[in-house]
Amino acid sequence: MKLIITGGAGFIGSNFIYYELKQHPEDEFICLDKLTYAGNLSSLKDAMQQPNFKFVKGDIADRDFVYSLFEGEKPDVVVNFAAESHVDRSILEPELFLKTNVIGTGVLMDACRKYGIKRYHQVSTDEVYGDLPLDRPDLFFTETTPLHTSSPYSASKASADLLVLAYHRTYGLPVTISRCSNNYGPYHFPEKLIPLMIINALHDKALPVYGDGANVRDWLYVEDHCSAIDLIIRHGRDGEVYNVGGHNEKSNLVVVKIILKALGKSEDLITFVKDRPGHDRRYAIDQTKIHNELGWLPQTKFEDGIAKTIEWYLDNKDWWQEIISGEYQNYYKKMYGNKF
Ligand code: NAD
Ligand code: TYD
């Protein structure tokens, strides 16, 4: 089988490529990535050594480019990770999110229609459901929870999901969608909560916690997300949405304290800053459907996953030092000001 994996130079995409190369050495993999600020070829260094892996630089929203790639490669499966993925950036600059996340998804699906495909898989997010109240721990997102987005990022992802389902109903395109909770693990770009806090703590810099730090996320180790997508693309039912989550809810403050403790740093580094506009309070996934239909369950406990993640950042300083020394500095100053 030949798979095109878009956004494979990003966090989850690169982890997915390594997962697939290990689990399915008989398959062929093409990574299509624009290499935006979030894409990193160094994350794919080891994959580049494999004869059944190829990297192609390009934009999923560039129709001519995407069509010529599909015409030449004739993929069986497309897994679309490519996206602008950071909520804070979507608040600063929403338009790019529409272009990549919505138009780009449409272009990929048109290419699938034109050249034929066994499966198009859209990697989506639990953020399409909006948020849950903090005082109702009995509530979870199911696949039938209405879409109710808060940020330009989540609105663009929900729009893409609707387009994917419309292509299934109208054109019969064989699609699946996964809606996953927050991931953590190796190759996570340092603008996101967990890597940002690890790196700031290592530098004894302030840890900027939004609002009161009580917002809750359902954290899933990235490899568990990869195993879920692998099952869905190979055994999931056409036209179906699958929620993926860890049943591992933690407030941001708790996560930050766990990181500080693991690194032997003082909680005095925690600094409460102005809240994110429209900040979702709680995400929590009901993963009954994927468990019942495909037998999926997360394998990594948070204590183990966070320990492995911290170790990875300690062992791979070159990877993140290169990132934070470049354009990232401008973004950081714009977001957090000069005092951090
Ligand atoms: P990321 O920002 O780390 O990586 C995105 C990748 O897409 C980068 O390599 C970037 O270069 C590439 N890209 C961006 N625009 C492109 C374009 N126009 N054409 C081709 N490539 C382009 O993101 P991530 O955290 O790995 O997330 C991957 C996917 O998973 C996204 O669709 C995101 O919405 C979804 N998701 C993420 C999480 C999470 O916790 N990170 C949770 C659920 C779902
Ligand atoms: P993030 O990693 O941006 O993921 P998402 O917004 O998609 O869930 O943020 C996770 C949580 O951490 C979210 O509630 C916002 C919060 N947060 C901070 O408190 N400080 C920060 O500097 C960042 C980046 C996030």
85 touches ligand 1 (CB under 6 Å): yes
Residue 327 pLDDT greater than 90, yes or no:
no
The fraction of the chain above a pLDDT of 70, given in percent, is: 99
**pLDDT the model gives residue 93:** 96
pLDDT-derived band at 332 (thresholds 50, 70, 90) equals confident
Distance 84 CA to ligand 1 centre (A): 6
Contact between 215 and 279 (Cβ < 8 Å): yes
**Which protein residues are within 6 Å of ligand 2, measured from CB?**
87, 182, 192-193, 196, 208-210, 215, 217, 252, 276
Cα of 204 vs centre of ligand 1, distance in Å, is: 29
Answer yes or no: is the C-beta of 305 below 6 A from any ligand 1 atom: no
Regarding the beta carbon of 153 and ligand 1, being less than 6 Å apart is answered: no
**HEC readout, the chain:** CEEEEECCCCHHHHHHHHHHHHHCCCCEEEEEECCCCCCCHHHHCCHHHCCCEEEEECCCCCHHHHHHHHHHHCCCEEEECCCCCCHHHHHHCCHHHHHHHHHHHHHHHHHHHHHCCCEEEEEEEHHHHCCECCCCCCCCECCCCCCCCCCHHHHHHHHHHHHHHHHHHHHCCCEEEEEECCEECCCCCCCCHHHHHHHHHHCCCCEEEECCCCCEEECEEHHHHHHHHHHHHHHCCCCEEEEECCCCEEEHHHHHHHHHHHHCCCHHHEEEECCCCCCCCECCECCHHHHHHHCCCCCCCHHHHHHHHHHHHHHCHHHHHHHHCCCHHHHHHHHHCCCC
Residue closest by Cα to atom 28 of ligand 1: 81
- Please tell me the predicted confidence (pLDDT) of residue 339: 61
Active-site residue flag, 153: yes
The closest alpha carbon to 69, from 2, 124, 168, belongs to: 2
Which ligand 1 atom is at minimum distance from the Cα of 189? 3
Q: Please state, rounded to an integer, the average pLDDT across all residues of the chain.
A: 97
- State the average pLDDT over residues 73-92: 98
pLDDT of residue 334: 87
pLDDT of 45 over the 90 cut: yes
Which tokens is 337 given?
């000001």
- CA–CA distance, 152 with 140 (Å, rounded to integer): 22
Q: Any idea which of 97-101, 205-209, 321-325 has the lowest mean pLDDT? A: 321-325
Cβ neighbours of residue 253 closer than 8 Å, sequence gap 6 or more: 209, 212, 213, 214, 270
pLDDT at residue 100 above 70? yes
Is pLDDT of 331 > 90? no
Nearest ligand to the CA atom of 217: 2
Specify the residue with its C-alpha closest to ligand 1, atom 10: 39
State which of 183, 192, 259, 260 you would mutate to test the pocket of ligand 2, scoring each by most atoms of that ligand within 8 A of its C-beta.
192
pLDDT, residue 326, reads 82
What would the pLDDT profile of 248-280 be if each residue is shown by its tens digit?
Answer: 999 999 999 999 999 999 999 999 999 999 999
Residue 307 has pLDDT above 90, yes or no: yes
Q: What is the pLDDT of residue 106?
A: 98
Can you tell me which atom of ligand 1 is nearest the CA of 60? Answer: 19
Instruction: Tell me the chain's radius of gyration from C-alpha atoms.
Output: 19
